[in-house]
Amino acid sequence: MLEVIKTDQGTPPGGHYSQGIRVGNFLFTAGQIAYNPETDELVTGSIEEETRQVMKNLSAIARAAGTSLSNTVKTTVFLTDMRLFARFNAAYAEFFPESPPARSTIHVGPLLREVHLEIEAIFYVPD
């Protein structure tokens, strides 16, 4: 059975989709961008700041589904400029100091709202 997951602590859907869908013991998220729900603004200072905000948004969706970043199975990263990869990777690593999830990083053209980064994730949700 599918369960729609939503929270006001993540990026609100900008179209016809859900922030997350839980099916069984897995949560699949929509791509998250660096939207700060506390200020209702995009975080655009640096790729490190964008990355940290995106990870906070993913964490909020995970919590809403009963799991956490420590149960991340896989992420897919969409990055508009691969020259930002090393800086992105350093900020991303802060959230996974041990046993990082599987990850794909894809170089893409411009993203909506002129952000440099979008990340979607798959989480394990324990019983």
DSSP-derived 3-state class of residue 104: strand
Identify the CATH assignment for 2-124 out of 1.10.10.10, 3.40.50.12280, 3.30.1330.40, 3.40.50.300: 3.30.1330.40
Structure confidence at residue 113 as a pLDDT band (50, 70, 90) = confident
C-alpha 13/C-alpha 126 separation (Å) is: 26
pTM: 0.96
Domain range annotation of the chain = 2-124
Q: Give the largest CA-CA distance in the chain.
A: 41
Q: Which tens digit of pLDDT belongs to each residue from 60-89?
A: 999 999 999 999 999 999 999 999 999 999
